Amino acid sequence: MATRLHAARLPIVISLVLLLLTSLIWQVPIVFTLAGAVIIIAATAFVPRRTAQNSNRQSGPLQQAIWPDTSMKATINAVRNPAFILDIAGIVRFANDAAAKAFSETRPGDLFSLTFRSPALIDALRSAAGGRSAQVQYREHVEGASVFNIEIDPVRRPGMKTGFLLLRMNEITEQIALGRMRADFVANASHELRTPLASLTGFVETLLGPARDDREAAEKFLKIMLEQAERMRRLIDDLLSLSRLEMRAHSQLTDLVDLVPLVHHVREALAPVAQELDVTVDVDLPSTPLNVRGDADELTQVLQNLIENGLKYGETGGRLEIKAETRTVAGSAVAAITVRDYGPGIAEEHLPRLTERFYRVDVESSRQKNGTGLGLAIVKHIVGHHRGRLSINSVLGEGATFTIELPVADMDTLTDKNSLETGI
């Protein structure tokens, strides 16, 4: 009450002076003058007033309907993805920091659908303006375009005649590419399986029909059938191997693996292949252990594929070199294994794609060599799991060099770990 009287002191004083003057001019009895003064003061103190909030509620909405207020802007700025506030006519009224950065050409005052042209988007904006949330996929009209999932929601605030639209843009380019890759992978895998399966079915039909009594033909066909069945088994093994690797991609690798005996072992296992293809294998291994943290089976798979590839595809060079050594890369020790052949090499344009699943430089020649096109994809996966690096260098006509680099195991940590385990 005191505050209200204090706030209204000037009008009270003026009213009282006027009251006194009129009383003097018309000689009104003092009782009436005093009563008048009391009424003025009481009215100022007790009669309810229109509050600031009430008055804002009536005059504010029209101002706020066009430009969002500060708190609304601050909230939208906290959204990490690009987000816009539009009025219901679809005009941009605010762009958050992420939107201003990613879509600098779309500024407040612009019609949103002028820069993002799409009939589906216009429909979605209309629907949101009518009070219904909408969602639409938008693909940019440029080369290597990004794809966005645009969500539009009407924003209504109490007391506002017209509202706004909150428009959020989520980039889904990668998700779409991943989905396509998965679909391609399934299609490729099915195709790779279908080929030997069709061949098997064909031979079974021939053996049941025209070649029923031809023993010589039967033997020949059965041999091919065995090869095809073998091919299917290899393919399924590789597919399972890839899926297992994907599942274990984030598992910790704690075992200590010495690469020297591993290289030796794979070389021995592939000696018959080298002999059959008439390729001399030179091995250069250090006399001390080359320890890495990893999975011995997975690393064996890597060496097997690289050495087998070198023998199969570099056969014409007649020579294969395998070298294991310690190198320093960016100040850290790495174990490097190089497999170098002297065959036809690989043209530069194929190099970045070699580790893609089912990618082969020459599909027919790879099939003849029993290749499934999954070997290097598996290698890349395993090397990545071991926090290593695979590099491929080749000059057409001069052979190819495949190198894997893996971080050398930190022996100090091993000692600490052992101490802990043994309780020392």
Ligand X SMILES: Nc1ncnc2c1ncn2[C@@H]1O[C@H](COP(=O)(O)OP(=O)(O)OP(=O)(O)O)[C@@H](O)[C@H]1O
Site for ligand X, rule CB under 6 A: 238, 305, 309-310, 313-314, 341, 343, 346, 354, 360-362, 366, 371-376, 400
- Nearer CB in complex with ligand X: 13/396: 396
Q: Please choose which of ligand X, Mg ion, none residue 383 contacts, taking the beta carbon within 5 to 8 angstroms, the exact cut-off set by kind.
A: none
Contact between 309 and Mg ion by CB under 5 A: the answer reads yes
Q: Please state the closest distance from residue 247 (CB atom) to Mg ion, in A.
A: 22
Q: Please choose which of Mg ion, ligand X, none residue 346 contacts, taking the beta carbon within 5 to 8 angstroms, the exact cut-off set by kind.
A: ligand X
Q: Please choose which of ligand X, Mg ion, none residue 128 contacts, taking the beta carbon within 5 to 8 angstroms, the exact cut-off set by kind.
A: none
Q: Please choose which of ligand X, Mg ion, none residue 315 contacts, taking the beta carbon within 5 to 8 angstroms, the exact cut-off set by kind.
A: none
Q: Please choose which of Mg ion, ligand X, none residue 310 contacts, taking the beta carbon within 5 to 8 angstroms, the exact cut-off set by kind.
A: ligand X
Q: Please state the closest distance from residue 339 (CB atom) to Mg ion, in A.
A: 11
Q: Please state the closest distance from residue 331 (CB atom) to Mg ion, in A.
A: 33
Span near Mg ion by CB under 5 A; candidates 74-82, 180-188, 258-266, 375-383: 375-383
- Nearer CB in complex with Mg ion: 365/419: 365
339 CB-contact burial (10 Å; exposed 0-12 / middle 13-18 / buried 19+): buried
Contact between 228 and Mg ion by CB under 5 A: the answer reads no
Residues 267-306 that bind Mg ion (CB under 5 A): 305
Q: Please state the closest distance from residue 250 (CB atom) to ligand X, in A.
A: 24
Tell me the residue nearest to ligand X as measured from the CB: 375
Q: Please state the closest distance from residue 379 (CB atom) to Mg ion, in A.
A: 8
Q: Please state the closest distance from residue 226 (CB atom) to ligand X, in A.
A: 18
Span near Mg ion by CB under 5 A; candidates 80-88, 148-156, 307-315, 322-330: 307-315
Contact between 372 and Mg ion by CB under 5 A: the answer reads no
- Nearer CB in complex with Mg ion: 83/262: 262
Binding site for Mg ion (CB under 5 A): 305, 309, 375
